[in-house]
């Protein structure tokens, strides 16, 4: 089983999730999304696997707050464009496995899709 993690090495939840996954398997692809420049196709794929576009946003991030956007008034396409322009607002860690996706908060939530 191949597992993909959208990962920030500075995030404790990302590190805990990776450790939990590594205890089950070693076929893990890490995507350090702050460096890799997320694409529209990647984000659309994540959404197609069951995560709503608005759930991908870290609304407590200062960068999100500075934008002054109302998440409930944004279309999924607008949210995708905003994440591409401001990757630090992406919720993390996002894990893809078995044609499903989850935001692993808490990290044990990843067990639901493994």
Residues taking part in catalysis: 11
The angle at the Cα of 31, spanning 11 to 80, to the nearest 5 degrees, equals: 90
Nearest CA to 87 out of 40, 33, 43 is that of 33
């Amino acid at each position: 089983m191949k597992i993909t993690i959208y990962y920030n090495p500075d995030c404790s939840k990302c590190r805990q999730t990776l450790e939990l996954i590594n205890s089950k398997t070693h076929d893990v692809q890490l995507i350090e999304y702050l460096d890799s420049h997320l694409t529209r196709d990647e984000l659309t794929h994540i959404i197609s696997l069951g995560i709503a576009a608005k759930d991908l946003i870290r609304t407590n991030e200062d960068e999100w707050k500075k934008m002054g956007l109302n998440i409930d008034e944004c279309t999924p396409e607008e949210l995708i464009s905003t994440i591409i322009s401001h990757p630090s607002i992406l919720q993390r860690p996002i894990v893809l496995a078995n044609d499903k996706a989850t935001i692993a908060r808490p990290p044990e939530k990843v067990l639901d899709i493994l």
